[in-house]
Amino acid sequence: MALTELCMALTAAIEELPPGYRTVLILHDVEGLSNVEVAETLGLGVPNVKSRVHRARLFLRKRLAATCVDLGCDDRHSGSVIKEPAQPRPTREERLGEGDAGKRGSDTA
């Protein structure tokens, strides 16, 4: 997808947002205000601002993914970037290399 097409799709998706979500998204993500600053500016609570920003981003992600499918983008840009199931996180002992060493030492004593 050309950069111009992406910009047009993003602009159109932002314009489709409900006004409350659009305002919060612009103030937070475009203007760079913190959640607290957005909340104070609009007279909202910080949790409300966080929810609106999150929901606006989800909406934009969905719209842009649909646009990529329509325009024939490759799979890297049409949805989640994660293609494999999540792996279990290593324990602290595994990260520090102490996983089996401590067990072996206690078995031989």
Number of domains in the chain: 1
Domain CATH number, residue 64: 1.10.10.10
Give the number of other Cβ atoms within 10 Å of residue 67's Cβ: 20
Give the domain extent around 56. Answer: 3-81
Between 38 and 72, where is the model more confident? 38
12: in domain: yes
CA angle centred on 18, ends 22 and 37, rounded to 5°: 35
Q: Does residue 11 lie in a domain region?
A: yes
Is 34 part of a structural domain of the chain? yes
Between CA 21 and CA 101 the distance in angstroms is 53
Please report whether residue 40 resides in a domain.
Answer: yes
CA distance 16 to 19: 9
pLDDT at 88 over 80: no
Question: Does any domain span residue 96?
Answer: no
Residue 69 belongs to a domain: yes
User: What pTM was estimated for this model as a whole?
Assistant: 0.61
pLDDT in tens, 52-74: 999 999 999 998 887 776 666 65
